[in-house]
C-alpha cells in the first residue's frame, strides 16, 4: 500500500445527509433554473456568468462551499436545496475521477473493499452501455439501470465518507473526460442560477409583472386577429353558400339524366330477355339430343365393363392359385430353416461347453505357472545373493 502523505491534501467535505425529499426539491429547482438560463441566453446571447456578479468563490474541487451560499439564505428550504445541489456536485466529482479500468495500479493504491466497489461500478456501467447500444429488452435494461444506481450511491458514499480516498483518485486520474467536465460546468451554472433565484424573490416578482404586461399586450393583439378572422369567416360562408347552390343545380340536372339512363336500360333489358329466351329454347333442344346419344354410349360402355369384370375375375382366380403355391413353398423353406437353426444352436452350445471347460483348465494352469514363476524368481534371487556373499568373502 502506498503512503498517503505523498498525495495532495483534499479540502474538507461535508458528510452525506440528503434525503429523497430534498433531492426531489432540488430537481424542481434545477429544471426551473435551466429554463431561466435558456430564456436569458435566447434574449441576450450571454451565459450565466454575465448576469450573476459577485458570486461566491469556488474551492479547489470546483464546488462552491455550502457555507458561502446557504449562509446568505434566510429560508430553511432554500438552504436545503443548495445543500442538495452541493452534494450532487460532490458525487459527480467522485464519479468523474474514477479510473477507467481496475488495473494493478488501482489495486496497489486502494484497499480491497474500495477496489471491489470500483470494479462493480465499472462492470455495471459497461453492461448498461452494451444493453442500450444493443437495444436489449426494456425489463433487462431497467434492472441493470437499477443495479447501476445502487452501485453509484455505494461508491459515492464510500469515497465521500473517506476524504483521503479522493486525494488518491486525483493521483490516479489527473484529467477528466470532456463530457464529465461539461456536466460539472452545467451543474455549477445551474447551482448558481438556483442560488440567485432563491436570493432575489423581489426581482422575480417584478419580472413576473413585466411578463404579465407582455401577455396582456399579446392578448389585445390576439383579439384583433380574432376579429379579422371572423370577418374572413363570414365572407367564406357567403362564398360557400353560393357554391352549394351551384352544386344543387348540378345535382338536379344529373338526376334527370339518371332517370333517362334508367329508362333506356329497362328497354335494353327487355330486348335482351327476349333474345335470351329464344337462345335458351335452342340450347334445350340440343341438350335433349345430346342426352339420347349419351345414354346409348353409356349402354355400350356398361356392356364392355361387364366383359372386363368377368375377365378380371378369371385372372384373379389364377393369381390366387399361384399365391397359394408360393406361400406353401415359403412355409416349407421356413420350416427347414428352423430345423437347421435348431441343429446349429445345439452344436454351438456343445462347443461353448467344451470351451468353458478348457478355459477353466487353462486358468488353473496359468495360476500354477504363476506360482512356479514366483518360486523360480525367489530361488534365482537367493542364488544371486549367495553368489554375491561368496564373492565378498573371498575378497576379504
Of 37-41, 134-138, 153-157, the range with the lowest mean pLDDT is 37-41
Could you tell me the pLDDT band of residue 61, with boundaries at 50, 70 and 90?
Answer: very low
pLDDT, residue 147, reads 93
In the predicted structure, residue 56 carries a pLDDT above the cut 70: no
Q: Is the pLDDT of residue 95 over 70?
A: yes
Chain mean pLDDT for the chain: 78
Q: What share of the chain is helix, strand, coil (3-state, %, to 5)?
A: 85, 0, 15
Q: How many helices (H) and strands (E) does the chain have?
A: 9, 0
Q: What angle do CA 36, 40, 42 make, to 5 degrees?
A: 120
Beta bridge partner(s), residue 58 = 64
- Dihedral (Cα; 353, 359, 361, 364), 10-degree rounding: -140
CB 16 within 8 A of CB 160: yes
Phi, psi of 58 (to 5 degrees): -85, 155
* Residue 62 confidence (pLDDT): 43
Answer whether 40's CB lies under 8 Å from 50's CB.
no
pLDDT digits (tens, 9 = 90+) for 351-367: 999 999 888 899 889 98
Grid coordinates given for 324: 397359394
Give the chain's length.
396
Selected residue with higher pLDDT from 218 and 48: 218
Instruction: Give the pLDDT mean for 58-86.
Output: 65
- Kindly state the average pLDDT of the residues 223-227: 88
Taking residues 143-160, report their average pLDDT: 91
Element (H, E) at 360: helix 201-395
> What pLDDT is stored for residue 178 in this prediction?
82
Query: What are the tens digits of pLDDT across the range 244-272?
Result: 888 888 898 898 889 889 888 888 888 88
Q: Say which residue, 60 or 333, is predicted with more confidence.
A: 333
Give the model's pLDDT for residue 71.
Answer: 56
**Which one, of 6, 34, 187, lies nearest residue 96 by Cα?**
187
> What pLDDT score does 30 carry?
41
Summarize the confidence of residues 59-72 as an average pLDDT.
51
Q: Binning pLDDT at 50, 70 and 90, where does residue 10 land?
A: very low
- Can you tell me the distance from the alpha carbon of 222 to that of 299, in angstroms, rounded to the nearest whole number? 99
**Mean pLDDT across the stretch 213-234?**
88
Backbone angles phi and psi of 129, in degrees to 5: -65, -40
What pLDDT was estimated at residue 52?
35
Angle between helices 163-172 and 138-160 (to 10 degrees): 110
CB of 118 closer than 8 Å to CB of 155: yes
Picking from 152, 175, 163, 162, the residue whose alpha carbon sits closest to that of residue 99 is 175
- 35 vs 6: which has the higher pLDDT: 35
Beta bridge partners of 91: none
Torsion of CA 92, 95, 96, 97, to 10 degrees: 130
Q: Which three cell numbers mark 219?
A: 392578448
- How far apart are alpha carbons 85 and 79 in whole angstroms? 10
pLDDT for 12 equals: 33
146-to-127, 128, 150, 152 alpha-carbon distances in Å: 12, 10, 6, 10
Q: Which of 157-166, 174-183, 268-277, 340-349 has the lowest mean pLDDT?
A: 174-183
**Position 154 confidence tier, pLDDT thresholds 50, 70, 90:** very high
Task: Please compute the mean of the pLDDT values over residues 329-348 and round it to a whole number.
Answer: 88
Looking at residue 1, its pLDDT comes to: 35
Report domain extents, the chain.
4-199
d(CA 285, CA 46): 103
What are 336's three cell numbers?
A: 427347414
Amino acid at each position: 500500500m502506498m503512503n498517503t502523505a505523498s498525495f495532495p491534501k483534499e479540502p474538507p467535505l461535508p458528510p452525506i445527509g440528503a434525503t429523497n425529499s430534498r433531492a426531489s426539491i432540488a430537481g424542481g429547482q434545477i429544471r426551473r433554473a435551466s429554463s431561466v438560463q435558456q430564456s436569458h441566453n435566447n434574449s441576450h446571447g450571454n451565459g450565466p456568468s454575465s448576469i450573476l456578479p459577485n458570486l461566491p468563490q469556488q474551492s479547489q474541487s470546483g464546488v462552491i462551499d455550502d457555507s458561502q451560499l446557504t449562509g446568505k439564505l434566510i429560508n430553511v428550504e432554500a438552504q436545503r436545496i443548495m445543500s442538495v445541489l452541493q452534494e450532487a456536485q460532490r458525487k459527480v466529482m467522485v464519479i468523474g475521477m474514477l479510473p477507467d479500468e481496475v488495473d494493478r495500479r488501482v489495486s496497489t493504491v486502494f484497499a480491497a473493499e474500495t477496489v471491489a466497489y470500483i470494479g462493480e461500478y465499472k462492470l455495471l456501467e459497461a453492461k448498461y452501455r452494451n444493453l442500450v447500444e444493443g437495444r436489449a429488452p426494456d425489463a433487462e435494461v431497467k434492472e441493470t439501470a437499477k443495479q447501476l444506481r445502487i452501485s453509484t450511491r455505494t461508491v459515492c458514499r464510500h469515497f465521500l465518507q473517506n476524504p483521503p480516498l479522493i486525494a488518491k483518485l486525483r493521483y490516479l486520474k489527473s484529467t477528466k473526460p470532456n463530457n464529465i467536465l461539461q456536466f460539472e460546468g452545467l451543474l455549477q451554472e445551474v447551482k448558481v442560477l438556483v442560488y440567485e433565484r432563491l436570493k432575489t424573490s423581489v426581482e422575480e416578482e417584478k419580472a413576473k409583472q413585466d411578463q404579465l404586461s407582455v401577455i396582456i399586450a399579446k392578448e389585445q393583439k390576439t383579439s384583433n386577429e380574432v376579429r379579422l378572422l371572423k370577418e374572413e369567416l363570414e365572407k367564406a360562408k357567403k362564398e360557400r353558400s353560393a357554391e352549394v347552390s351551384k352544386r344543387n343545380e348540378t345535382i338536379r340536372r344529373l338526376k334527370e339524366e339518371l332517370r333517362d339512363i334508367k329508362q333506356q336500360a329497362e328497354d335494353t333489358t327487355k330486348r335482351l330477355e327476349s333474345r335470351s329466351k329464344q337462345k335458351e329454347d335452342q340450347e334445350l333442344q340440343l341438350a335433349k339430343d345430346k342426352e339420347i346419344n349419351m345414354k346409348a354410349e353409356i349402354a355400350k360402355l356398361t356392356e364392355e365393363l361387364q366383359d372386363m369384370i368377368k375377365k378380371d375375375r378369371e385372372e384373379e382366380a389364377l393369381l390366387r392359385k399361384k399365391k397359394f403355391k408360393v406361400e406353401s413353398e415359403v412355409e416349407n423353406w421356413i420350416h427347414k430353416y428352423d430345423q437347421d437353426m435348431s441343429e446349429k444352436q445345439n452344436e454351438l452350445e456343445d462347443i461353448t461347453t467344451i470351451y468353458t471347460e478348457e478355459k477353466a483348465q487353462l486358468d488353473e494352469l496359468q495360476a500354477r505357472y504363476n506360482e512356479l514363476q514366483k518360486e523360480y524368481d525367489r530361488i534365482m534371487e537367493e542364488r544371486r545373493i549367495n553368489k554375491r556373499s561368496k564373492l565378498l568373502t573371498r575378497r576379504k
